[in-house]
A and B are shown apart, each in its own frame.
Chain A
Amino acid sequence: MAEIFGDFIEPQKDEVEYLIVGFSSASLPLKQRWKNKGLSADFIAGYLQTFFVGRRGNALRNGETIPAHSHNATKYIANELLENAMKFSDESARYSTRISFYLHEERLIFYVTNSISAVNREKFQIYIRKLLSCDANALYIEQMEANALDPESTASGLGFLSMNCDYSAKLAWKFDASLDGDSTDGKPVSVVTTMVCVDV
C-alpha cells in the first residue's frame, strides 16, 4: 500500500500537457550522468519557456513567455530533483528514474520517481516528517548553521528546503512498490515519487 506524505496530487495526463524523461540507472557512470542531468534541467526549462506561451495565449511584455523567476525555478527544481534521484536511487534495483512535469493553467507540477533502498527509505521518511512539521524557513537557516559546524557532512540537506523557502514550492511524496523494475530477484522494487508544485 502506498504511503503518502504531504498533499500529493496524482498526475492528470488527460487534462494538461506534460513531458516525461527517463534515465536508465545502469547506462552511465554517475559522473557522466551528472553532466546529462544539467543538460536535462536546461532542456526542461527551455521546453517550459517554449510551450507555456500556448497555455497563456500571449507573451509577457518583455517578450518572455514566462517570468524569469519561473524559468529559473524550473531549472533549479528539475536539477535538484535529478540530483537527488541519481544520488539516492537503489542501483541494484535497475529501475529507471523518471522525471515529468505537467503544465497547468497557473502552476507547474514536477514528479520524479526513483527506486530507493530500505535503509534510505527509512532515513528519508524521518527527514520528510521533520520537513513537513517544522517552520521551513527556520529549518533552512538551522541546516546551514549545522552544515558549517560539521566538516564531515557530505549531504547539504538544503535542496528541498531551498525549493520550499526560495521558490515557494509545495512538496509531497508517495512511497510505493513497483513491478516495472528489473530487479534481479523478481520482487517489487521500492520506489518513491517526489512531487513539487510551483505557481507561475
Chain B
Amino acid sequence: MEINQEGYCVSFNEIKQEITCQGSLMLAGTEEYLPILELLKQASEQVSDSLTLNICNLDFINSSGINTMTKFVILVRNQKTPQLSIHYAAEQAWQMKLVSNLQRLMPDLLAVEQ
C-alpha cells in the first residue's frame, strides 16, 4: 500500500511490518488526511504482532497531520494490538515533541531514536 503524492509519500511494507512517512504532510484539513488514516488502519489490521511507524524522513507535519497521527495511535491503543513502535530522527526537534505527545496518549508506544 502506498500513497505517493507531490511533496509526500506514505507507504506500508508488509514484509517489514513498517509504515514509512516521507516529505511534508501539509494537507488541507481532516478530510484530505482520510486516505492516509485509512492506510494506517489497514496496516494495523494486516500485521500479526508488531508494527513500526517510521517518521525519520518526514520533514514537516501540520496540525491536521498531527491529528491523524494521534487518531491512529489512540485506535491502536484501544485495540490493544499490534505493539506499536515509532522510529524518529533525534535531530528533528519537532519529531521528539510529537513522539512525546503520542506517548502521553499511549504509554506503551515504543520510541526508537534513529
Chain A residues within 8 Å of B, Cβ to Cβ: 30-31, 34, 37-38, 68-69, 72, 75-76, 79-80, 83, 87, 140-141, 144-145, 147-148, 153-156, 158-159, 162, 165-166
Q: In the complex, are the beta carbons of A34 and B97 less than 8 A apart?
A: no
Query: Residue of B at shortest CB range from A68?
Result: B93
Query: Residue of A at shortest CB range from B62?
Result: A79
Q: In the complex, are the beta carbons of B104 and A141 less than 8 A apart?
A: yes
Given contacts A158-B66, A158-B67, contact A76 B94 (CB under 8 A): yes
Given contacts A140-B101, A141-B105, contact A148 B94 (CB under 8 A): no
Given contacts A72-B93, A155-B29, contact A147 B70 (CB under 8 A): yes
A158 to B7, CA, bound (A): 23
A38 to B105, CA, bound (A): 29
Q: Which residues of A contact B30 (CB under 8 A)?
A: 153-156
Query: Residue of B at shortest CB range from A145?
Result: B74
Chain B residues within 8 Å of A, Cβ to Cβ: 7, 24, 26, 28-31, 60, 62-64, 66-67, 70-71, 74-75, 91-94, 97, 101, 104-105
Q: In the complex, are the beta carbons of A31 and B28 less than 8 A apart?
A: yes
The one of B67, B97, B101 in contact with A147, judged by C-beta atoms closer than 8 angstroms, is B67
Q: Which residues of A contact B7 (CB under 8 A)?
A: 38
Q: Which residues of A contact B105 (CB under 8 A)?
A: 141, 144-145
Q: In the complex, are the beta carbons of B29 and A154 less than 8 A apart?
A: yes
Given contacts A38-B26, A76-B94, contact A148 B74 (CB under 8 A): yes
Smallest CB separation, A162 vs chain B (Å): 5
Smallest CB separation, A41 vs chain B (Å): 8
Total A-B contacts with CB atoms under 8 angstroms apart: 72
Smallest CB separation, B67 vs chain A (Å): 4
Q: Which residues of A contact B60 (CB under 8 A)?
A: 75-76, 79
Q: Which residues of A contact B29 (CB under 8 A)?
A: 87, 154-156
Q: Which residues of B contact A144 (CB under 8 A)?
A: 67, 70-71, 74, 101, 105
The one of B67, B93, B97, B104 in contact with A156, judged by C-beta atoms closer than 8 angstroms, is B67
Query: Residue of A at shortest CB range from B74?
Result: A148
A141 to B64, CA, bound (A): 15
A159 to B67, CA, bound (A): 10
A119 to B64, CA, bound (A): 23
Q: In the complex, are the beta carbons of B24 and A38 less than 8 A apart?
A: yes
Query: Residue of A at shortest CB range from B78?
Result: A148
Q: Max chain A CB contacts within 10 Å: which of B7, B26, B62, B74?
A: B62
Query: Residue of B at shortest CB range from A161?
Result: B63
Q: Which residues of A contact B71 (CB under 8 A)?
A: 144, 147-148
Q: Which residues of A contact B104 (CB under 8 A)?
A: 141
A64 to B24, CA, bound (A): 22
Q: List 27 A-B contacts (CB under 8 A).
A: A30-B28, A38-B7, A38-B26, A72-B92, A72-B93, A72-B94, A76-B60, A76-B94, A79-B26, A80-B62, A83-B28, A140-B101, A141-B105, A144-B67, A144-B70, A144-B71, A144-B74, A144-B105, A145-B74, A148-B74, A148-B75, A154-B30, A155-B30, A156-B30, A156-B63, A156-B66, A156-B67
